[in-house]
Amino acid sequence: MTLETITVKPVTPRIGAEIGNVDLSQPLGNRTFQEIHDALMRHQVIFFRDQKMSLEQHKELGRMFGELHIHPGSPGPEGHPEILIIHADEKSKRVAGDLWHSDVSCDEEPPMGSILHIHTVPECGGDTLFASMYAAYEALSEPMKAFLAPLTAIHEGEHVYRGRYSHQGVDDAGKVYPKAEHPVVRTHPVTGRKALYVNSGFTTRIPQLSKLESDAVLRMLYEHCASPLFQCRFRWEKNSVAFWDNRCVQHYAMWDYYPQVRSGYRVTIKGERPV
């Protein structure tokens, strides 16, 4: 489609593009929505600069792309359960997402996409790395693709979320966190492309294999997926926005700026059962 409203500047040939000429705080017209949607499908993660958005405007933007997802562990700011607070400062013991993962892949129907707005940035550092799981899949040998094709994997939230939000006053005693079984290779419902769908954050086991085999195959896949060949790296500025497609992208939030502050909000969009 010829671009009429936005500009799209690829970051690497495989993944990522910077989008210009749009104000995300305002309702997107049909044409702009379609161009942003198409850019996301093509580049898998898209970046915007200088976007001022209230929480309501952020949620409205997310709703244009689908129903909003409620995080299974984090309560969100008062009155906004659909918002995930992303915050680190000198008191932080851990941060969200500082390992390769696809958001909440432990859900039966994991999120389609996430829109992160960062309003406070450290002097330097705090980049987010994104990796194309299309590129990772396509780079596998044919025998490995054939081996992985019938396999599924278990994704669990328990080890990720238990006690995680106690600093926000959450008592999760008795709470059951999501657990799901998904194909190791999924087909994207819009593009039809195949993507690897295991990640070191949530995936615990390939049930068709022995534990030894499962651990070895997952370790190999994680190492493969982490190749810089499949990646782009986003340098945040105040009021930057990143919008990624969790169905074909993993990301890694770099916590190299301690004790400085990095802060923002994420809206997450519901997805479908992976096939």
Name the active-site residue from 43, 58, 103, 193. 103
CB of 88 to ligand SIN, least distance (A): 8
**Phi/psi-derived region of residue 63, left when phi > 0, alpha when psi is between -120 and 50, beta in every other case:** alpha
Which residues are within 8 A (CB) of 169 and not within 5 positions of it... i.e. 6 or more apart? 75
- Taking alpha carbons only, the member of 266, 253, 250, 246 closest to residue 62 is 266
110: helix, coil or strand? coil
Name the active-site residue from 14, 43, 71, 101. 101
Residue 172 falls in the annotated catalytic set: no
Residue 266 falls in the annotated catalytic set: yes
Residue 251 falls in the annotated catalytic set: yes
CB of 175 to ligand SIN, least distance (A): 21
The site for ligand SIN (CB under 6 A) is made up of 86, 96-97, 114, 116, 128, 251, 253, 266
CB of 185 to ligand SIN, least distance (A): 23
Judge contact between 118 and 86, C-beta under 8 A.
yes
Nearer to ligand SIN, 35 or 252 (CB): 252
- What is each CA distance from 141 to 135, 158, 195, 225, 265, in whole angstroms? 12, 33, 14, 14, 39
Nearer to ligand SIN, 9 or 235 (CB): 235
223: helix, coil or strand? helix
CB of 96 to ligand SIN, least distance (A): 5
Residue 43 falls in the annotated catalytic set: no
Catalytic residues, which ones?
Answer: 101, 103, 251, 266
